[in-house]
Amino acid sequence: MAGTPDLIIRGGMVVTGGAVVEADVVVQDGVIAGVGRPGTAPAAREVVDASGKHVIPGAIDAHFHFKTFSLHDDTLESAIRSAAHGGITTVVGFIRGREGMTARQTVDHFKAEGEKAVVDFAFHLNLGPHDDFAAHIADGLERGITSFKMFMAYARRGFMLDDGLLYRAMRGVAAAGGLAMVHAENGSIIDRLEDEFAEAGRRSPVDFSHTRPAFAEVEAIRRAIQLAEAAGCPLYVVHVSTAGGCAAVAEARARGLPITGETCPQYLTLDDGAMARFGSLAKIAPPLRAVADRHALWQGLTRGDLSTVGSDHSPYRRTAKEASADIFEVPFGAPGTETLLPVLYSEGVLRRGLSPAWLARVISENPARVFGLYPRKGIIAPGADADLVILDPSVRWTVRAADLHSVSDYTLFEGMALLGRPVDSWVRGQRVLRGGEFIAEPGQGRYVACAAPGAPAPA
């Protein structure tokens, strides 16, 4: 080796490619210098023993919200801090500007807001119904954004694109070589049902679920796929929550279409029974679904019908979530970035026996591939960023909001007993977690420009 390495992670069960091998990982100058047989690596400035632990490429939370002028109570900085506590080494967050801002200004604004970020961050750009699509897409590309988010719901909040705008935006994204992301729920059906429920005085958390029926998601996903196909545009369906939605994505993929589906830990581990327990805190969209949907999502995620898992971190303080007795007045969303990796590791790898290679694929390799960060991130291989996480399968712990770091002071996973935990992590070779302790320096995270989006590596 040329010079003494900065770091060697020794003897871990390292996910490299699709395999898990016992190996040493050597880091120098912020990148992975090599992967070698245990014991073969030279002396290094720092040596970390990972024997008996899993080593995966840095986890990426590609479904990540924070306050962008309105909505949400975490700032980019506080949200990233929470993510980093949970083993995330890169987030890809949604941004939208204030009225009148160009997309370039919006990106610059939030890049600046991430100055104190503790891990790396990239952005998706929201396209709203009144935005100049062409200008936004061009600005985005210039600033390293290649994924553009559209809403098929929330007309009353001013987010929804009608189908004609959606199709127009997709054509623009396709022409630019970008990726369209959709929140796929039929907003019109939901709004009319909400009216009916509200008029009938049915305004409780349990009522909420019934205003967003499963078929309204399935229909929207099928529609988005048809529009994307017509537009020739790669499509990423965020937070698939239903068996039918998963099937729609699977069918499209089987036809060879460039469609990628994402789900979230809350849809994998909770169901609509939680509405009674958490009340308005559990108001998220899509809503928590039936138990059968949960099973279908796990199957889809292991078969490769769904490719990624994001947190949909949408942080509000408990006070904001509980301010109104009318569920329709409650803001949407719940925190989740800090629990994303732990929940997946516990429930997928340690409880269901899925391979750590599977975990690395859905939480790191696939997000990296899909959002144009691969092979800079998403892989443990020479030359890649030294974004690394060590997971200790022997830890047992219970999720408590009090122990988490979002300003959002509750969690839907409250009380969940988890196996295993991320204990050490690095971003470009810089420490984030050490022995479970958070030791990151503010500002060590950097804005990352995304390259052209790619396809996930199926299961």
Residues that bind a second copy (CB under 8 A): 1-2, 14, 16-24, 26, 28, 31-42, 162-165, 167-168, 186, 188-193, 195-196, 213, 215, 218-219, 222-223, 226-227, 229-230, 250, 254, 256, 299, 303-304, 365, 374-375, 379-384, 457-459
Nearer to a second copy, 126 or 186 (CB): 186
To the nearest whole angstrom, how small is the minimum distance from the Cβ of residue 310 to a second copy?
20
Among candidate residues 318, 253, 240, the one with its CA nearest the CA of residue 282? 318
To the nearest whole angstrom, how small is the minimum distance from the Cβ of residue 418 to a second copy?
28
Query: Residue 433: which H helix or E strand, with range?
Result: strand 430-434
To the nearest whole angstrom, how small is the minimum distance from the Cβ of residue 213 to a second copy?
7
To the nearest whole angstrom, how small is the minimum distance from the Cβ of residue 444 to a second copy?
22
Nearer to a second copy, 84 or 459 (CB): 459
Among candidate residues 171, 243, 181, the one with its CA nearest the CA of residue 214? 243
Beta bridge partners of 237: 182, 261
To the nearest whole angstrom, how small is the minimum distance from the Cβ of residue 162 to a second copy?
4
For 307-319, give the DSSP string. -EE---B----HH
Nearer to a second copy, 115 or 163 (CB): 163
169 Cβ contact list (under 8 Å, min separation 6): 127, 133, 148, 150, 161, 180
Neighbour-count burial of 169, counting CB atoms closer than 10 A to its CB (0-12 exposed, 13-18 middle, 19+ buried): buried
173 Cβ contact list (under 8 Å, min separation 6): 137, 148, 179, 180, 231, 233
To the nearest whole angstrom, how small is the minimum distance from the Cβ of residue 15 to a second copy?
9
As a whole number of angstroms, the distance between CA 104 and CA 249 comes to 33
To the nearest whole angstrom, how small is the minimum distance from the Cβ of residue 188 to a second copy?
4
As a whole number of angstroms, the distance between CA 381 and CA 17 comes to 8
To the nearest whole angstrom, how small is the minimum distance from the Cβ of residue 36 to a second copy?
3
Beta bridge partners of 182: 150, 237
> Which stretches does DSSP call E strand in 31-101?
31-36, 46-49, 54-57, 59-64, 88-95
- The per-type count for the chain, helices as H runs and strands as E runs, is 15, 17
To the nearest whole angstrom, how small is the minimum distance from the Cβ of residue 395 to a second copy?
26
Looking only at the bridges linking them, the beta strands covering 54-57 and 31-36 are unpaired
Helices of type H across 232-273: 243-254, 265-269
Q: What is the DSSP letter of 451?
A: -
Nearer to a second copy, 270 or 285 (CB): 285
